[in-house]
């Protein structure tokens, strides 16, 4: 997706060899024009997929997925990160761990919103692939199916994209970053 590539080249910062800082336009300040274009690109890409709803995981996935939902005219369900196990049959949960942030949480959603549905997951970054795997497990608990995944930025130097592709998962990434150099701020994009 050319516009996202351009913004990453202009304003992305290689904080470390692994972390790409996109906070000036993506997840601290949000460029709504960019998000609208990202959402339209997802809607176009998934136009021939049969699905009932998008899901995303709070918080940085929300902006792109709201615009995807608007452009594709499909509902959007936001999966929350809860710190505790809820003793309430209206909710389903799946334990998850962020390798990037080093925190554990429970992906949590309302059963009624997803039960039996065909779902496309939208998320901002793909690193280890744990969110995708754990969202699929969560959906399966509600007899829902993960049809495909749309990612804004895949960090291909981390294992997520390779792992999911090898497992035969349908994953569309708008931008593939292949490497970062924090000393020169080089951001290598495929
Ligand atoms: P995985 O799902 O691919 O396994 O990734 P992992 O758990 O390791 O990390 C996911 C979290 O880390 C996400 O945030 C994602 O936005 C963030 N993240 C991963 N790599 C980068 C990066 O290079 N730059 C930035 N800025 N963020 C990165 P989150 O925990 O879902 O929280 P939120 O930021 O969406 O609130």
For every residue of 48-111, DSSP letters joined together read: TS--SEEEEETTTTHHHHHHHHHHHT--EEEEEEESS----TTEEEEEEEETTTTEEEEEEEEH
Residue closest by Cα to atom 15 of ligand 1 = 125
pLDDT per residue as tens digits for the range 68-121: 999 999 999 999 999 888 899 999 999 999 988 899 999 999 999 999 999 999
Chain-wide mean pLDDT for the chain? 97
Q: Give residues with Cβ within 8 angstroms of 66, minimum separation 6.
A: 35, 39, 76
Question: What is the best residue among 100, 123, 128, 136 to mutate for testing ligand 1's pocket, by most ligand atoms within 8 Å of CB?
Answer: 100
Percent of the chain with pLDDT over 90: 95
Does the pLDDT of residue 46 top 90, yes or no? Answer: yes
CA–centroid distance, 57 to ligand 1, in Å, is: 10
Angle formed by the axes of helices 32-45 and 62-72, nearest 10°:
50
Domain extent listing, the chain: 2-81+111-189
Nearest-atom number in ligand 1 for the CA of 123 is 16
Backbone angles phi, psi at 102, to 5 degrees: 70, 25
Q: Which CATH architecture has domain 2-81+111-189?
A: 3-Layer(aba) Sandwich (3.40)
Q: Which of 174, 111, 101 is nearest to 131 (CA)?
A: 101
Q: How far apart are CA 113 and CA 105, in angstroms?
A: 20
Nearest-atom number in ligand 1 for the CA of 21 is 26
């Amino acid at each position: 997706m050319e516009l996202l590539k351009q913004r990453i080249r202009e304003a992305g910062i290689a904080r470390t060899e692994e972390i790409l800082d996109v906070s000036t336009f993506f997840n601290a300040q949000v460029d709504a024009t960019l998000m609208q274009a990202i959402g339209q690109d997802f809607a176009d890409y998934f136009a021939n997929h049969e699905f009932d709803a998008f899901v995303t995981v709070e918080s940085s996935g929300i902006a792109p997925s709201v615009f995807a939902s608007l452009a594709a005219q499909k509902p959007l369900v936001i999966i929350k990160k809860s710190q505790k196990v809820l003793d309430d049959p209206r909710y389903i949960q799946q334990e998850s761990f962020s390798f990037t942030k080093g925190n554990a949480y429970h992906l949590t959603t309302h059963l009624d919103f997803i039960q039996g549905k065909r779902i496309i997951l939208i998320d901002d970054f793909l690193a280890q692939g744990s969110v995708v795997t754990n969202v699929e497990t969560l959906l399966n608990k509600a007899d829902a199916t993960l049809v495909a995944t749309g990612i804004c930025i895949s960090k291909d130097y981390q294992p997520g994209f390779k792992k999911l592709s090898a497992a035969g998962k349908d994953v569309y990434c708008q931008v593939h970053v292949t490497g970062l150099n924090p000393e020169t701020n080089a951001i290598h994009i495929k």
